[in-house]
A and B are shown apart, each in its own frame.
Chain A
């Protein structure tokens, strides 16, 4: 099995630190030597608390870090080094090969643009479809995320549909061009638990049907355990542990993973056996 994504010694720091003080420089280091692989068709969870560097890792992979941050290390996708690509070349990759779904569907979607048009955008850009072909493709993308009334949804503005529907739309836009790697950043955190369950099931089904690879970012151990095969635990910009979901309940080695698990267990135990 070959690695689809290979991240090696990825570090991110704030640019132009004026301080010579060693501790201040230390604080400016946001990601430290992050290394991991995602195999073809594998589902990997990136878990950690706020400020641990989960989202930053995702942004660094797809080359969307702000200019104020300095990135070093290697990001290899499908055998190609992508960390040094120009923005133009990255744009060809984003949405086409690697797609991202963010936490808050209300802000990920443009409030002034009809939903159908937003799903159409990546299809038009990457596949050059126009007119009725494009429309058909949009409707089929919306069908695929199991939106009951794709035609109505396509002609709605984001505020006219529910939070769960908005997240389905964002997923439809992300997978419309059949990417090989899907990165989801807290895709269900803003949703009600009953809706969360549906969205998790949808992501699982889509990833299986299309044999996509998945990087699933979350702070929630119970959620991540339902979706992925392997978990990377992040803390303060570092990966502190890399373990399979099966090992999670029996053998976390790092004290921080143990602490996370203990907290999650306490909450879980309140729900009974």
Chain B
């Protein structure tokens, strides 16, 4: 069974200038399989955000399908959507923007459990929050603090803890380390890798940063102008890119001096 799949999915933005102003995506095929982290690489305007909103069930494709556990995802089917949102969670780029500044960390981490109605018991919820914070290696005392009291790296860990709270199968990470310093970036990548192994979590990493994607994903699709221009395993894509755009992208990545 595939966890998540885009089958010939196209999304076009409306409006008269839509076709030139914002990139949709066209005819994308993509399969997320258990235990196989998938990287989606693309630069600005490649269609990453559009792809994400389809994968996260925030938009319906104009044509083609989004499949969740081999069944078409119907956003008006409440039962299926609850199941889907429990299994597919997300972490976004900017931990400053994605955490509600007026709420304590405990309430932020419990949010998906609450909104999906997964646990009704207070003690159980509290226990789940504690477990999630522990999984991201944060001290449990942090539960009583507010986002502004934490560093950027800690906030991103909170965002990951919130995603883990539903015990998801897939974690969709949208540029999860782009706003972080390089030393913190390494820690978060390491954490995601560990969570993948320990919790059987499959990660879909969407990023413009080839090295971050390569650190975590074996399989990669390269997105350009709304299309998948290359799809394969990371070592091949890094060493023998076939597509002209992929070649340009890979060769532009700055490298450290030997």
A193-B208, A249-B257 known; A263 and B183 CB under 8 Å?
A: yes
Interface string of A257-273 (1 = CB under 8 A from B): 00111011111101110
- Report whether B185 and A263 are in contact in the complex, using a CB–CB cutoff of 8 Å: yes
Indicate if the CB atoms of B249 and A194 lie closer than 8 Å: yes
Nearest CB of chain B from residue A105's CB, rounded to whole Å: 13
A263-B185, A267-B185 given; A193·B210 CB < 8 A: yes
Determine the distance from Cα of A50 to Cα of B185 in the docked complex, in whole angstroms: 13
Once A272-B235, A272-B238 are accepted as A-B contacts, the answer to whether A49 and B257 lie under 8 Å apart by CB is no
Q: State the Cβ distance, B67 to closest chain A Cβ, in Å.
A: 30
A223 within 8 A of B: yes
Q: Which residues of chain B are within 8 angstroms of A136 by Cβ–Cβ distance? A: none
Beta-carbon contact of B254 and A222 below 8 Å: yes
* Residues in A170-194 with C-beta less than 8 Å from chain B: 192-194
Given A50-B152, A163-B44, A193-B43, is A268 in contact with B255 using a C-beta cutoff of 8 Å? yes
Q: A264 contacts B256, CB within 8 Å?
A: yes
Q: Which residues on A sit within 8 Å (CB–CB) of B185?
A: 263, 267
Which residues of A in the span 99-152 have a Cβ within 8 Å of any Cβ on B?
A: none
A203 cross-chain contacts in B, Cβ below 8 A: none
Tell me, yes or no, whether A92 is within 8 Å of chain B by CB. no
Q: Please, which residue of chain A has its CB at the minimum distance from the CB of B178? A: A189
A194 touches B181 (CB 8 A): no
Classify the secondary structure of B's interface with A: helix
Taking a contact as CB atoms under 8 Å apart, the answer to whether A193 and B255 are in contact is no
Interface residues of B in 229-251 (CB under 8 A from A): 235, 238-239, 248-249
Query: Could you tell me if A249 and B256 are in contact, using CB atoms closer than 8 angstroms?
Result: yes
A249–B258 CB distance below 8 A: yes
Q: Are A264 and B182 in contact (CB under 8 A)?
A: yes
User: Are the C-beta atoms of B212 and A267 separated by less than 8 Å?
Assistant: yes
A49 in contact with B214 given A223-B254, A248-B257 (CB within 8 Å): no
Interface residues of A in 187-234 (CB under 8 A from B): 192-194, 196-197, 200, 219-223, 225-226
Bound-state Cα–Cα, A8 to B210, Å: 40
Separation of A219 and B152 alpha carbons in the complex (Å): 15
Is A7 engaged at the interface, CB distance under 8 Å to the other chain? no
B210 is contacted by which of A196, A223, A271 (Cβ under 8 Å)?
A271
State which size class the interface on A falls in.
Answer: 20 to 34
Inter-subunit contact A271/B238 (CB<8 Å): yes
**Contact in complex: A225, B215 (CB < 8 Å):** no
- A270 and B250 CA atoms in complex are apart in Å by 12
CA distance A149 to B120 in the complex (A): 63
Is the C-beta of B211 less than 8 angstroms from some C-beta in chain A? yes
Contact of A225 with B256 in the complex, beta carbons under 8 Å = yes
Q: Is the CB of A194 within 8 A of B254?
A: no
B152: A residues at CB distance < 8 A: 50
Chain B 12-46 near chain A by CB (<8 Å), digits 1 or 0: 00000000000000000000000000000001100
Can you offer 30 A-B residue contacts whose CB atoms are under 8 A?
Answer: A49-B181, A49-B183, A193-B43, A193-B249, A194-B248, A194-B252, A196-B252, A196-B254, A197-B252, A200-B254, A219-B181, A220-B254, A222-B255, A222-B256, A225-B254, A226-B254, A245-B257, A246-B257, A248-B257, A249-B256, A260-B182, A266-B215, A267-B182, A267-B186, A267-B215, A268-B211, A270-B212, A271-B238, A272-B214, A272-B239
Q: List chain B positions with a Cβ less than 8 A from chain A.
A: 43-44, 152, 181-183, 185-186, 208, 210-212, 214-215, 235, 238-239, 248-249, 252-258
A-side interface residues toward B, CB under 8 Å?
49-50, 163, 192-194, 196-197, 200, 219-223, 225-226, 245-246, 248-249, 259-261, 263-268, 270-272
Q: Which 6 A-B pairs have the closest CB atoms?
A: A192-B43, A49-B181, A270-B214, A222-B254, A270-B215, A197-B252
